[in-house]
Structure 1
Amino acid sequence: MHPDHAEPPHLPPPPSRGGRRLRNIVVTVALGAAMFAAGVVMLAPDQTTVFRPSGQGQPGASPPRGSIEALQARVTRLPKDAGGWAALGMAYVQQARSTADPATYDRADKALRTSLRVQAEDNTDAEIAMGALAAARHDFPTALRWARKATASGPYSSSAYGVLADAYTQLGRYDEADEAVQKMTDLRPDAASLARASYAFELKGDTDRARALMQRSLAAAATRADTSFAQNVLATLDLQDAAPRAALARTNTGLRAAPGDSALLETRARAHMALGNTAEAIADYRAAIAIAPLPHYLLGLGELEQSLGHREQADKQYTLLRAQDRIREAAGDPADTDAILFEADHGDPRRAVTMAEQTLRTRPFVAVHDAYAWALHRAGRDSEARPQADKALITGARSALFRYHRAVIHYALGDSEAARRDLTEALREPAFHPLHADAARDLLQRIDTTP
């Protein structure tokens, strides 16, 4: 066995009331993974294709291997090549994530269905990519169906178990997600599986273990995308630990290698905001939005501008968010948490409640429970909101925003002591939100000064 592929020891799971948890993962990491983001994670390739965005290379030169142009040329030359169509479909999925262009998902779907027509059975690559596509569209029940097909046709594919883990996580089936992550790590202890293991521990609030595993993922990074992803997660953990200077240094390091990485720019914006460098934060938000106008970038910039009294600039971002939501609604897609929170805080809270209820039917994930709780609170339904706020924190995740939301709900219901506990936890990250952090400090002071 190659030393970089050493198998992790099979340690017994620690006892827990919540069922079987992810085993302690102590591994010698393997190299090689490509980015997969169903929110926060990567997908390890079991194939040799490396997916690259279009437009690389010198004018007049052959397109680089693995680029969209090269894959398009391949399927034009070999229209019965199921693997080529699957690779092209996955490349489109990755392009859509980096550009926030939903039309690219349609191209991905067309390529992948062509692959499945060419090879209907045992087409693991296409099944994995269909699962990734469904996850990117936030259709997690469909992602789970494709992931199960992929693990059946490719039982030794670590990537298949990665998609399975993502689907289970977003469906609120956290013990099953842990089992899928453990299987993925057993099969291939590389950057992608370690990134998922890191997130599993982060979701439980074990940020020390999450950081250690993400450091291993960074050490295993074989591509610029792998490295940028790991640096971004580590910087985000720095922010959670109230270490914005460390986050700033890490994002600067990442951006020197990948200056066009929108996720690193957005995280650097939050680091600048935490340090009071508001002009730099705004510049980074704008740069990230110019690359990919993702909803959480627009909302982050809008609320930062609003906190500074720049109402006109904030409204520009909010107008874009409303336009994006109209497109989503017309397509019949479920709302993401950013859209729900935006509607709750800057629109119609009753509509936000309806949006959250629709999303929860297919995505009972902790972040959706939090958004639902906040929408219910904003709509004046605090008794209904509190159980949802509890569900948002059921895994033990260290989320300052979740804690703040529950604190406000507790206070509205007359439980000042519970509100104080949650506010104290939330303010361990003093700059967790451009608007709500100050509101949290004001509420805590009010509680402390009330006889």
Structure 2
Amino acid sequence: MDKRLRVPGTSPAAGPPAPRRPLRWLRRVLATALAGGVVAGAVLTLLPGERRHGAAAPPAAGPRAQAPAAVTFGVPAALPRLTALIGEQERRVRVRPRDARAWAVLGSAYVERGRAAADAADYPRAERALRTSLEVRGSGNAEALDGMAALALARRDFPVAKRYAEQALKPAPGRWAAYGPLIDAYNGLGDYEAARKTLDKLMELRTDGAARPAVKARASAVYRDRGWREDAVAQLTDAAAAAGTPVEQAAYLTGLGQLAWERGDLPDALRHFEAAVRLDAGRRAALAGRGRALAALGRTQEALTSYRAAVAGRARAQDVLELGELYESLGRTDSAEAQYDRLRTLVREAVAGGVDEELLIGQFEADHGDAREAVERLRQEWRRQPGIEVADALGWALYRAGEDAEALTYASVATDKAKGGGVRSALYAFHRGVIEGELELTGPARRHLEEALRINPYFSPLWVPAARSALRELGDVPDEPLPER
């Protein structure tokens, strides 16, 4: 079995797989860790032409109080509220086709509904409405520019999101609504210093009371990326306490569950995910998070039930991938392949809606398909928008393709604070440790593998066993005498 690709197979998108190097350090590790959990030939393939270079609950608010806040402030809103707002604005633009604001609100509502429902079919509708708004009133049309920035973020197009968000801020630097999308755009482009400075400016502004929780949630995300875990938790806890609706509160509780999961605190993660589901039964991220925590606790059947609820109907691609990998770790190959088949369909639909899915495709190909195809895609993605996620994915794909020295360069970007990788990620540390082990950098390899398991001992049902086996393979620190003076 090859250490680079756990499963043999050919990617229809890339032709026959490249020759693989002889196995060295990790042969026994992966063979042992993954025994009984191999899925054959699952490859993410796009259609031709689709390649490209998501306390007591406060009282519920009505559509006029909740959904407009979603499109103006980025406050989470329920799908029925957003659909009601869309219907209202569609009626308005039919009667008043020169109403630039109505077109802008309509386009932004389509963006929010597409994100909330994981349905990229809403994005072309959003773009048409927002461009109509800009045509009717281009100069100083901040609402439409905000909407275009939000649409670009939903499509993972960070350069375009940056351009529109900066345009929205130029005429009115005190308008805080555009700061959030600009922070996300800078993060996606790997410009973390600019993201931090933009957050500082946002925190200095006086914000509307309804939007204050969303601002705190944005701050939490930036603090998390800097490795400031306690600060991230504090900001998001405040946001959840001040949320104006159950749906908004559920979104922030889901974020708290994710923060707890990332630090390996299973009881706290499960508590927050379950609280979120009680407030918003359809919150897919919370359902998937609950499944993740339950699986780590050994409550496998409950975990599968929660994951199945998360992917019922319109599903998020990441949740489908996680469920497939959970099945794979359990040796249920047919069920895993079914999820990977579904993932390919979701990716095609997302790409048709204008979403850049190169990162997800690259991650999937590296672990389940053709590693050289993953490298090709992720190199292009890195040139276009070099964020930490892309650095980690490209480093791991290069390792799987046999390019260990170059792989370590990108793995270092993802994990070294001096290079921007302040986030404490067990997966990133694991990837770096494995790459260092292959390069016979025994000390650093042991240190990063131990760090991965210390950050979160449950970070992946597939890779935690591999991390533990790799550490055993490396052995203990040699008992050597101290050097003489």
Output one character per residue of 1:136-178: Cα deviation in whole Å (capped at 9) or x when no partner: 1111111111001100133222111111111111111111111
Q: Which residue of 2 aligns with 1:345?
A: 367
Q: Which residue of 2 aligns with 1:107?
A: 125
Contact kept, 8 Å, 1:404 with 1:422, in 2: the verdict is yes
User: What is the alpha-carbon distance in structure 2 between the residues aligned to residue 35 and residue 210 of structure 1?
Assistant: 26
- Structure of higher CA gyration radius: 2
SS of 1:260 mapped into structure 2: coil
User: What is the alpha-carbon distance in structure 1 between the residues aligned to residue 192 and residue 447 of structure 2?
Assistant: 26
Alignment CA distance shift 1:46-1:350 (3 Å): closer
Contact kept, 8 Å, 1:164 with 1:177, in 2: the verdict is yes
User: What is the alpha-carbon distance in structure 2 between the residues aligned to residue 291 and residue 177 of structure 1?
Assistant: 35
SS of 2:170 mapped into structure 1: helix
Output one character per residue of 1:225-274: Cα deviation in whole Å (capped at 9) or x when no partner: 32122101111111122211111111111111100111111111111111
Contact kept, 8 Å, 2:122 with 2:353, in 1: the verdict is no
Verify: 1:149 aligned to 2:149, yes or no.
no
Find the partner of 1:434 among 461, 464, 470: 461
User: What is the alpha-carbon distance in structure 1 between the residues aligned to residue 182 and residue 130 of structure 2?
Assistant: 18
Q: Which residue of 1 aligns with 2:93?
A: 75
RMSD of aligned C-alpha atoms? 2.5
Alignment CA distance shift 1:323-1:425 (3 Å): same
Alignment CA distance shift 1:332-1:351 (3 Å): farther
| Stretch moving more, 273-282 or 258-267 | 273-282
Output one character per residue of 1:188-228: Cα deviation in whole Å (capped at 9) or x when no partner: 45112211211111111110111111112212212333212
Q: Which residue of 2 aligns with 1:295?
A: 317
| Stretch moving more, 302-311 or 417-426 | 417-426
Contact kept, 8 Å, 2:266 with 2:297, in 1: the verdict is yes
User: What is the alpha-carbon distance in structure 1 between the residues aligned to residue 112 and residue 399 of structure 2?
Assistant: 36
Alignment CA distance shift 1:329-1:162 (3 Å): closer
Give the unaligned 5+ runs of structure 2. Answer: 1-60, 479-485
Contact kept, 8 Å, 1:52 with 1:91, in 2: the verdict is no
Q: Which residue of 2 aligns with 1:309?
A: 331
Q: CA deviation at 1:392?
A: 0.8
| Stretch moving more, 152-161 or 367-376 | 152-161
Verify: 1:416 aligned to 2:462, yes or no.
no
Q: Which residue of 2 aligns with 1:122?
A: 140
Q: CA deviation at 1:100?
A: 2.0
| Stretch moving more, 84-93 or 178-187 | 178-187
Alignment CA distance shift 1:327-1:358 (3 Å): farther
Output one character per residue of 1:363-409: Cα deviation in whole Å (capped at 9) or x when no partner: 21101100000100000001010010011123321100001100110
Give the unaligned 5+ runs of structure 1. Answer: 1-31, 37-41, 57-62
Instruction: Give, as a single letter, the amino acid of the residue that structure 2 aligns with 1:445.
Output: R
| Stretch moving more, 420-429 or 327-336 | 327-336
Alignment CA distance shift 1:450-1:348 (3 Å): farther
Find the partner of 2:428 among 402, 410, 429: 402
Verify: 1:45 aligned to 2:72, yes or no.
yes
Find the partner of 2:302 among 268, 271, 280: 280
User: What is the alpha-carbon distance in structure 1 between the residues aligned to residue 240 and residue 310 of structure 2?
Assistant: 22
Q: CA deviation at 1:46?
A: 5.6
TM-score with structure 1 setting the length = 0.85
SS of 1:194 mapped into structure 2: helix
Alignment CA distance shift 1:193-1:218 (3 Å): same
| Stretch moving more, 279-288 or 296-305 | 279-288
Matches within 5 A, 1:233-382: 233-326=255-348, 334-382=356-404
Q: CA deviation at 1:291?
A: 4.5
Contact kept, 8 Å, 1:34 with 1:226, in 2: the verdict is no
Instruction: Give, as a single letter, the amino acid of the residue that structure 2 aligns with 1:430.
Output: P
User: What is the alpha-carbon distance in structure 2 between the residues aligned to residue 365 and residue 251 of structure 1?
Assistant: 28
SS of 1:164 mapped into structure 2: helix
Q: CA deviation at 1:439?
A: 0.6
Q: Which residue of 2 aligns with 1:162?
A: 180
Q: Which residue of 1 aligns with 2:40?
A: none
| % identical equivalent positions | 40
Alignment CA distance shift 1:360-1:332 (3 Å): farther
SS of 2:72 mapped into structure 1: coil
- The alignment of Structure 1 onto Structure 2 pairs a total of residues equal to 406
Output one character per residue of 1:11-61: Cα deviation in whole Å (capped at 9) or x when no partner: xxxxxxxxxxxxxxxxxxxxx99799xxxxx978369x99653488xxxxx
Q: CA deviation at 1:318?
A: 1.0
Contact kept, 8 Å, 1:53 with 1:68, in 2: the verdict is no
User: What is the alpha-carbon distance in structure 2 between the residues aligned to residue 431 and residue 159 of structure 1?
Assistant: 37
Alignment CA distance shift 1:324-1:257 (3 Å): closer
User: What is the alpha-carbon distance in structure 2 between the residues aligned to residue 169 and residue 439 of structure 1?
Assistant: 30
Alignment CA distance shift 1:168-1:268 (3 Å): same
